[in-house]
Structure 1
Amino acid sequence: MKPRKKVQKTLEFDSPPGIPRQAWVLPWAEEHYPEMVERLREEYPDDLVNAPAVYKKPLPVKGDRYKKGTYVDEWGCVFSNLQDGIIGIVKEPLIKDWKDLVRFKTPDYVLDLDKDEINGFCRHTDRFVLAGTFVRPFERLGFIRTLEQALVDLLEQRPELFDLLHRIHELYIKEVEAWAETEVDAICLMDDWGTQQGLMIAPDLWESIFKPMYRDYAEIAGHYGKYVFMHSDGYIIDIIPGLIEVGINALNSQVACMGVEELGKRFRGKLTFWGEIDRQNLLPNGSLQDIRDAVFQLLENLYDDGGVIAQCEFGPGAKPENVLEVFKTWNQFK
């Protein structure tokens, strides 16, 4: 069976012939373990792939997001990176004072996709294609105001906050629609909502402000026949029911910190678990048997005639042999 169909059957809980897979290989791994990365891609090729983010005019970014130094993204947010191979953080807000909001403009040029090139990519692969961009209203607020100030803003709830969120959301609605009009298979969302113990904001605040945004994105995707994939780090179990309700099909999250058994009891058969394997402890420190045990635990608790995508991140600290063992173990299940 072709990879695209295997992923679709997984998302529909329709007894796929095996577990589809996707390795998230960061530039750090390509730099430090190029031979192992090559082996990984040769022995366990991805069933899911990101479409290229191609625009009719180059986006006005500066620097390299994965290089040490400064990177300026298409919104004008400035990231400071102290290490090659990973993404930096925002230290200086784009909007430091609310009076600066009058000068703020959303980057509408991200809507000017080269759809012919993107569609050509989709037609020439048999893999399941994810949109080449991530829609992230909460993180974008944090990039514009800094995360610390954004959390304060959400508590104070001044009118300027909702003005800014409205502008962010309106652009993302248009961006989701632009990608949904292409031949990609899924739209991608990404907001890190949790610490390792709980949500960064109260659940009712998430429900009232951000859940409706995700619903809007999912409804647009559904109108065009697209699936919706989402990534969110941390302990986010309190918002997973809401994500399922609005139409998220697949979720990449830190399942280990939430408890695999608990996730299985509550959400098995309702959501596809897009990975992962514990990248904070197991991938850097675990034995090969620990890795095999973790994979078996995911299969036992989360698989329901589908509903699981084999995924892990090959990033800083991960032992290359452990990453390879993840996919070797998943590959046993046909």
Structure 2
Amino acid sequence: MTSRELVYKTLNFENPERVPRQKWVLPWAQHHYPVELNQIGEDYPDDIIGAPGYNKVNDRSEGDPTEVGESTDAWGCKFLNYQKGIIGEVKEPLVKDDAWKDVNNVHIPREWLTIDIDKINAFCKNTDKFVMAGACPRPFEQLQFIRGTENLFIDLMLRPQGLLDFMKKMHAFNCEQLTLWASTDVDALSFMDDWGSQNSLLINPKVWVEFFKPMYKDYIDIAHDHGKKIFMHSDGYILDIYPHLIELGLDAINSQLFCMPMEELAKYKGKITFWGEIDRQQLLPYGSLEDIKHAVQQVKNNLWARGGCIAQCEFGPGAKPANVEKVFETWNLCL
């Protein structure tokens, strides 16, 4: 069975012969553990990969966001980073005016629409891996980068017309980008937004339903209308929005499972695929090998339903290589 077939059987709850794998690697791990990282990759190769866009026009991003210093994203937001191997923060918003009169400071990166479809299709044809699109809209996070987190939270309450107009414009661009990628031979689209703090949603769930659920519905509908699967990532405690995402038909969610009660997550077993992960706050940096084994078994016992789980974890700051390896070793023996 190929990796592509394995992932589809998992997403469709068709009892795959093993749990598919995906390792997320931050530059920190590449800097600190290149030998161990390479060995894990050889022993437990990924079943899910991303497609290059082969863009014909470069976007306006500048600098390396994982290096110490300043970098600029494709929208024009400037990030300041103090630690090599991770991504920094935006310290100065592009939109400073409360009425959004300076919104023209924002550049919508239409360069992302210059993908080479023929090359992408050839990439998909020449691999037996499950291929994700090289686009990942993040409306809530991008709005924070543009406006600043505190200012955006105020705007979501006061609803200035400038914010509402820009959100429509940004969403139209995101839909155009996803529709373009959905016309290629990739297997899945994706989107992301970090919605959770350690123990609650960052905004009132009613505000999420009003503003962001309709956006996500459009993303999911675009994927399914084109015969694609669709995945989402969100950090933190996001239990409040799980039922909504399932209602919308999301195929797979990557979330911090160990920020939420496992017995509550178990209610959604068989309704959505849990695209990882294993606790990277405590277990991956500080846990024993036995702790890691127990954590994987806990996820499998609570959330596996003839599919519905992907062996994903993040190799990032503080994680022990042996613990990351143990995650994949344990998943490999689960079925």
Shorter-chain TM-score range:
over 0.9
Distance 2:181 2:81 in 1: 29
Alignment of 1:219 onto 2:221: yes
Distance 2:298 2:244 in 1: 25
Match of 1:48 in 2: 48
Alignment of 1:331 onto 2:329: no
Distance 2:323 2:265 in 1: 24
Instruction: Name the amino acid aligned to 2:76.
Output: G
Q: How does 1:91-170 map onto structure 2 within 5 Å? A: 91-97=91-97, 98-170=100-172
Cα gap change, 1:34 to 1:102, in 2 (>3 Å) = closer
Paired residue secondary structure (2:101)? helix
Cα gap change, 1:155 to 1:323, in 2 (>3 Å) = same
Q: Tell me the CA shift for residue 261 of structure 1.
A: 2.1
Alignment of 1:185 onto 2:187: yes
Match of 2:296 in 1: 295
1:244 to 237, 243, 246: 246
Match of 2:87 in 1: 87
Match of 2:199 in 1: 197
Q: Tell me the CA shift for residue 104 of structure 1.
A: 3.8
Instruction: Name the amino acid aligned to 2:42.
Output: E
Distance 2:54 2:136 in 1: 14
Match of 2:65 in 1: 65
Paired residue secondary structure (2:189)? strand
Match of 1:33 in 2: 33
Match of 1:275 in 2: 276
How much identity, in percent, do the aligned residues show? Answer: 53
Kindly indicate whether the alpha-carbon contact (under 8 Å) linking 2:79 and 2:90 is maintained by their aligned counterparts in 1.
yes
Deviations 1:78-121 (A, max 9, x none): 11111111111111111111220245442212111111221111
Distance 1:285 1:102 in 2: 46
Kindly indicate whether the alpha-carbon contact (under 8 Å) linking 2:3 and 2:20 is maintained by their aligned counterparts in 1.
yes
Instruction: Name the amino acid aligned to 2:84.
Output: D
Distance 1:103 1:6 in 2: 45
Q: Tell me the CA shift for residue 287 of structure 1.
A: 0.4
Distance 2:238 2:262 in 1: 13
Q: Tell me the CA shift for residue 196 of structure 1.
A: 0.7
Cα gap change, 1:246 to 1:40, in 2 (>3 Å) = same
Q: Tell me the CA shift for residue 156 of structure 1.
A: 1.3
Kindly indicate whether the alpha-carbon contact (under 8 Å) linking 2:101 and 2:162 is maintained by their aligned counterparts in 1.
no
- Report the number of matched residues: 333
Distance 1:114 1:124 in 2: 16
Q: Tell me the CA shift for residue 59 of structure 1.
A: 1.5
Which structure 1 residue ranges, 5 or more long, are not aligned?
none
Deviates more, 1:111-120 or 1:248-257: 111-120
Deviations 1:138-182 (A, max 9, x none): 111111101221111111111111111111101101011011111
Paired residue secondary structure (1:53)? coil
Distance 2:320 2:261 in 1: 23
Deviates more, 1:279-288 or 1:145-154: 145-154
Kindly indicate whether the alpha-carbon contact (under 8 Å) linking 2:187 and 2:229 is maintained by their aligned counterparts in 1.
yes
Report the RMSD for the aligned CA atoms in angstroms.
1.0
Instruction: Name the amino acid aligned to 2:284.
Output: L
Distance 1:138 1:299 in 2: 31
Instruction: Name the amino acid aligned to 1:282.
Output: L
Kindly indicate whether the alpha-carbon contact (under 8 Å) linking 2:135 and 2:178 is maintained by their aligned counterparts in 1.
no
Distance 2:325 2:110 in 1: 41
Q: Tell me the CA shift for residue 53 of structure 1.
A: 3.0
Paired residue secondary structure (1:310)? strand
Which structure 2 residue ranges, 5 or more long, are not aligned?
none
Distance 1:196 1:23 in 2: 23
Cα gap change, 1:72 to 1:333, in 2 (>3 Å) = same
Distance 1:319 1:87 in 2: 20
Alignment of 1:15 onto 2:15: yes
- The TM-score, its normalising length taken from structure 2, stands at 0.97
Distance 2:154 2:132 in 1: 34
Q: Tell me the CA shift for residue 279 of structure 1.
A: 0.2
Alignment of 1:304 onto 2:305: yes
- The TM-score, its normalising length taken from structure 1, stands at 0.98
Q: Tell me the CA shift for residue 133 of structure 1.
A: 2.0
Distance 2:106 2:265 in 1: 41
Paired residue secondary structure (1:38)? helix
Distance 1:110 1:205 in 2: 29
Distance 2:105 2:322 in 1: 50
Distance 1:69 1:120 in 2: 37
